[in-house]
Amino acid sequence: MWLVCTRRCGGTLFRALFAEVIVDAGGRYRDHQIVQPGYLCVSCGAPAADLSAVPESMAEDAAAESAPVAVDVLCPRCETRVTIFPGEECPNCGAELEVA
């Protein structure tokens, strides 16, 4: 984890928003569990961003952008409108279809 203040105030302490803290009968800290990621900068109160998650998020975005998209085309042989991915043939007659 690499937390940074989104206002770039220089703060280095952050408060977990969605954390469960386990204490003993005397109220002393024993353990914690982060239920959902979410942090605030203690210095200025701005949300904090986890920069260690950026490469993974960028890879997911790139994979989503490079995924093939289905298109509607009119088959020149059977003259029906079909939805195909680039490189597929007509599902009705098997004709090779070009997607521009």
pLDDT digits (tens, 9 = 90+) for 4-14: 999 999 999 99
pLDDT in tens, 55-100: 888 888 888 787 788 899 999 899 999 999 988 999 999 898 887 6
What value does the mean pLDDT take over residues 34-51?
A: 92
Joined tokens for residue 3:
């937390």
Q: In which residue are the tokens 């920069």 written?
A: 51
Confidence at 32, pLDDT banded by 50, 70, 90: very high
Task: Supply the pLDDT for residue 64.
Answer: 79
Q: What is the dihedral of CA 73, 74, 80, 82, to 10 degrees?
A: -10
Q: In the predicted model, is pLDDT for residue 46 greater than 80? A: yes
SS3 category, 57? helix
